[in-house]
Amino acid sequence: MNSRIENRKNPGIRRSRVGAAAGGLVRGLFLLLVLSLVVFFLARACPGDPLRSWYGDGVDRLSAAQKETMRRNLGLDRSLWMQYGLWLRNLFQGSLGISLKYKRPVTAVLGSVAGNTAILGLLAYVMTFLPAFRIGSSCALKEGSRKDRRLSRIAVVTGNIPSFFLGLLLILFFAVKIRLFPTGGAYSYGMAHSLPDRIWHLVLPCAVLVLEHVGYYGLMVRNLLVEETRKDYVLLHKSQGIPREKILRKYCMKNILPGMIPAMTMAVPHILGGTYVVEMVFGYPGLGTLAFESALYKDFNVLMAVTLLTGALVIFCNMLGEVLSAAIDPRMRDDAADFREVDYE
């Protein structure tokens, strides 16, 4: 309500694109801070000695006095809030502690596998949305046809197969029975830098992720398009003699983008979560495998780091989505919340 009044009062004053982006950045950083707070207190709520989780098993060989000094260094003798502050300071200095299981700094452990997850996740994301747009539009074009009705059914089925099970099925068939693809891993022994080998290992995990999500997003594209075809401009274009396919692919498609971008940003945590599970099933060395192993071994430093990293990535993608939305759709801009009512320039 307030913003509308302000807009009316000063229609000339507009925040610049840069200003809006900076605002988004500040908000993103704030969200990250809250996330780190939640993660920190969750991890501290768990049973176990924080000293051990920070320095590893080496703690056992220390004298009581040494332990006391270390405790003080980590601030464990102070209040939880002070501890959080210290933890945050360490975080900004690039230190997330030692991994209990791997006996290495957490950042090094993370760095060694984050790339693998990025490759798999990104590939799955692209391979999901390219066909999703294609499938959705071809179904919307033939709305009500047998093919169209089949899509929603297939989407319901594929969306309800747990990805770990789909992974198992694919392994059972393609890796065990006909031995076309490897059962897991990111590369064959000693072939870490061979591109064909890596692609060969990526096929099955990626297929699981794509099969899992493509129906759902295809259906989403289809539903948005179908809704779009009810609008009057479609009738106008039709009366102008523009072919149906062109109306759909050129005009309707453009108009559903503002609806699709939030869905595509929401897809990031979904597909990323799926990636983590799939990594686990295929024994693919990535953040997901790392996270689940850390949970089993109660390696909280790693778990915290993976959670924070994931949250940061998703928050960044959300911001990107907002910027994209604002760029293609003026109604989405912060300063034009009441675009329709106020002015058309």
Partner 1 sequence: MNKKKNRLGPGVRLSITLLAVVGIASLLAPLLAPYGPNEMGPAINHAPSADHLFGTDSMGRDLLSRILYGGRASLCIGLMAAAISTGIAMVYGSISGMSRRWVDRGLMGFADLMLSVPQILIVVFLQAVFGKSGYLSLALSIGVTGWMAMARIIRNEVRRIRETDYVTAARMMGGSFGYILRKHLLPGFLPAVLYAAVSSIGAAMMTEATLSFMGLGLPVAEVSWGSLLSDSQNALLSGSWWIILIPGIVLIGTLIAIAALGEQVRKGNTRLHSNL
40 binding partner 1? (CB under 8 A): no
* CA 197 – CA 262 distance, rounded (Å): 35
Residue indicated by tokens 């022994």: 189
209 binding partner 1? (CB under 8 A): no
CA-closest candidate to residue 316, choices 279, 277, 269, 271: 269
307 binding partner 1? (CB under 8 A): yes
Which one of 104-112, 188-196, 294-302, 323-331 is the stretch in contact with partner 1 (CB under 8 A)?
A: 294-302
- 143 token code pair: 């709305």
Q: Which of 226, 260, 290, 305 binds partner 1 (CB under 8 A)?
A: 226
232 binding partner 1? (CB under 8 A): yes
Q: Cβ–Cβ contacts within 10 Å for residue 179, how many?
A: 9
Closer to partner 1 by CB, 109 or 234: give it.
234
Angle at the Cα of 105 from the Cα atoms of 99 and 107, rounded to 5 degrees: 105
- Distance in angstroms between the alpha carbons of the first and the last residue of the chain: 21
- 296 token code pair: 């089993």
* CA 286 – CA 195 distance, rounded (Å): 17
**Mask of contacts with partner 1, 255-284, x by CB under 8 A?**
-----------x--xx-xxx-xx--x----
180 binding partner 1? (CB under 8 A): no
235 forms beta bridges with none
31 binding partner 1? (CB under 8 A): yes
Residues in the site for partner 1, rule: CB under 8 A?
A: 1, 31, 34-35, 39, 42-43, 45-47, 141, 143-144, 156-157, 159-165, 168-169, 171-172, 176, 183, 226-227, 229-232, 234-235, 238, 244, 247-248, 266, 269-270, 272-274, 276-277, 280, 291-292, 294-296, 298, 300, 303, 306-307, 310-311, 314-315, 318
